[in-house]
A and B are shown apart, each in its own frame.
Chain A
Amino acid sequence: MADTPLLSIRNLSVSFATSRGPFRAVDGVDLDVSSGELVAIVGESGSGKSVAMLAVMGLLPWTATVTADRLAFDGHDMLALSPRERRRIIGRDLAMIFQEPMSSLNPCFTVGFQIGEALKTHLGLDRAERRVRSIELLREVGIPEPERRLKAFPHQLSGGMSQRVMIAMALACRPKLIIADEPTTALDVTIQAQILDLLVRLQRDNGVGLVLITHDMGVVAETAQRVCVHYAGQQVEMQETAGLFRDPHHPYTAALLAALPERASGRILPSIPGVVPGLADRPKGCLFSPRCRFATERCRTVPPPRSGPELGLALCHTPLVGGVPQRRTQAA
């Protein structure tokens, strides 16, 4: 990561205006992604992982207020761009794959038309060139008989096929960065394996940067190089994948890993009590403190500082080392 990263986010916050006052869905998130890198963002529902990436894409509704110290993609300041300039980048250099392939495709148009749209808008290809490129794309994502599939409507495709079409659309203009939001959650495991294989191959062979949003720790372990853990809108930890699974520094990460049935030893899983705090019951100090088994009085009253990189940038008063909370000695 010597050169400047492709995507660089500093202190990104998103709040939504609700009838009960502003709700902070994303709170001070930092992220750097370089070309050819696969970064995973993990978190439970409500952790703000999707909203943070939608903010990068500029796809949030008008009720959202996005602020950031820096939100740069490939040298562009995404916050300062006009909508017209933004549209020129999105879909070409920066593409997104959504969670529900069935509902993300337009049911009224054929697959060929929907892939061709981006090719026409961004690259100005004519009809014949679009057809050739669409067939090439469908073949690349592993769809059999691509010539015939161009005329298919989304309802004629299975979930796995629809997701491949979504990926083909994302790849259409050879993007530099792809954001995949739970790309395999709606799919069966054998199909999930095919799609993950495809994404990892694209990232490795074509040098595409990939941000993978997921809640599945198994998917993270098998694909990502680096992992960000989100909780209630905050980024609580960021580490290399191997380190995160070996020695998680934030108590939430540790508890999340311990709660996986495949990592448990006994009949009773070490579960995390309670639920993610909502708008009304946000605690004063550390947001995880009501559910944390290491929480002290200070955690409940004082917001935690960010640790240094040697402690996974953990947002915690007493980050864990080898499962044992450490007294903080110096500020990082």
Chain B
Amino acid sequence: MTAPVMEAVELTQTYEVARGFLSAPASVKAVSGISFRLAPRATLAVVGESGSGKSTLARMLTMIEPPGSGALFINGADVAEADAATRRRYRGEVQMVFQNPYGSLNPRQTIGAAIEEPLLVNTSLSSAERRRQALEMMTRVGLRAEHHARYPHMFSGGQRQRIAIARALVLRPKILVLDEPVSALDVSVRAQVLNLLVELQESLDVAYVFVSHDLGVVRHMADDVMVMYLGRAVERGPRDAIFDAPKHPYTRALMSATPIADPGARRERIVLEGELPSPFNPPSGCPFNPRCPLVMERCRAEMPPLERKGGRLVACWAAQDTPGPTPMQRQPAFA
């Protein structure tokens, strides 16, 4: 395996939340003990529902906020040990595309200015050179030169996401963190943007951390998949291992709950009861135990470690070290 462009070791983030004037502040563990290695030009998909800590993880990876504990390595160097100037350089290596293209662009800034701004801040290029690079990147993402002087409101959602991608790539980063990049887009436009991302990854040699809740999109884009639940990774491994034979009961429930666009597919559906527990007082033991169909006595007492089982890492006492799925209670699908 080639040297990873990004490596996370036990990243953890805890937030203090004030609970009124007299009560002691509560702490929320938004992300806890996340580790992974990202190879150049590879795509790691981070999957999870709202409240699973995906976005907090994305903020730590892009150095928007430092991790509470744990370490982040970029090109093999520890970010925490770097001096201010070096850290500035690292920021150029990791860029981000946000979920909502209607909120992430300044309505009073032209597209050209938005795309040139990273160059203005991070480089000492002349304005002519900045403009040249911005125009080149706009062409790459499928925007035309005359769009340079226009404002965001003149663009559709898909085009805005292209602008956001151009802005993120104009510094030629090695890593792009995409936080739900296509979830706000219509199906036909979504396919256009996904195709663009695939093309750019090949032509610009960039690795993706692809945060999404849409398993169809993840299966299409990812090399590796990490499934998160309440701030923890419950399963992580190669895409095919996870999609063909998910081992963690949460991953299986997530997959069975995702509707498939094929009415002929006879599927079994696992309907989870309840909702994500409050992160203020997570359940003891495994965080998934109150909703888990395979729950045992041990799950309520002890946190399962992330262990290698059947070609991927999985944090579950009930998962077995066999390649096939384990038997469990299932309900028939609709109709």
Q: Encode contact with B along A248-289: 1 for CB under 8 Å, 0 otherwise.
A: 000000011101111110011111110110000000000000
Q: Interface size bucket, A side?
A: 35 or more
Q: How far is the CA of A263 from the CA of B260 in the complex (A)?
A: 9
Q: Quick one: given A200-B334, A261-B217, are A270 and B261 in contact (CB under 8 Å)?
A: no
Name A159's closest neighbour in chain B (CB-CB): B50
A189 in contact with B50 (CB, 8 Å):
no
Q: How far is the CA of A246 from the CA of B264 in the complex (A)?
A: 9
Across the interface, which residues of A come within 8 angstroms of B215, CB to CB? 189
Closest chain-B Cβ to A10's Cβ sits at a distance in Å of 28
Across the interface, which residues of B come within 8 angstroms of A219, CB to CB? 259
B271 in contact with A221 (CB, 8 Å):
no
Q: Quick one: given A260-B187, A262-B220, A268-B195, are A217 and B261 in contact (CB under 8 Å)?
A: yes
Q: How far is the CA of A259 from the CA of B262 in the complex (A)?
A: 14
Q: Quick one: given A188-B49, A188-B213, are A271 and B188 in contact (CB under 8 Å)?
A: yes
Q: How far is the CA of A272 from the CA of B334 in the complex (A)?
A: 31
A110 on the B face (CB < 8 A): no
B254 on the A face (CB < 8 A): yes
- Contact partner of B188 (CB less than 8 A), chosen from A222, A242, A255, is A255
- Contact partner of A216 (CB less than 8 A), chosen from B191, B259, B263, is B259
Name B51's closest neighbour in chain A (CB-CB): A188
Q: How far is the CA of A60 from the CA of B199 in the complex (A)?
A: 43
B49 in contact with A222 (CB, 8 Å):
no
Closest chain-B Cβ to A42's Cβ sits at a distance in Å of 9
B262 in contact with A263 (CB, 8 Å):
yes
Closest chain-B Cβ to A304's Cβ sits at a distance in Å of 19
B275 in contact with A222 (CB, 8 Å):
no
A215 in contact with B186 (CB, 8 Å):
yes
Which A193-209 residues have C-beta < 8 A from chain B?
193-194, 196-197, 200
Closest chain-B Cβ to A324's Cβ sits at a distance in Å of 21
A44 on the B face (CB < 8 A): yes
B188 in contact with A189 (CB, 8 Å):
no
Across the interface, which residues of B come within 8 angstroms of A241, CB to CB? 263
Across the interface, which residues of B come within 8 angstroms of A270, CB to CB? 191
Q: List 16 A-B contacts (CB under 8 A).
A: A160-B275, A161-B275, A188-B49, A188-B50, A193-B269, A216-B259, A245-B264, A246-B264, A256-B187, A256-B188, A259-B187, A267-B198, A269-B220, A272-B188, A273-B192, A275-B156
Interface residues of A, Cβ cutoff 8 Å to B: 44-45, 144, 158-161, 188-194, 196-197, 200, 215-223, 241-242, 245-246, 255-257, 259-264, 267-273, 275-276, 291
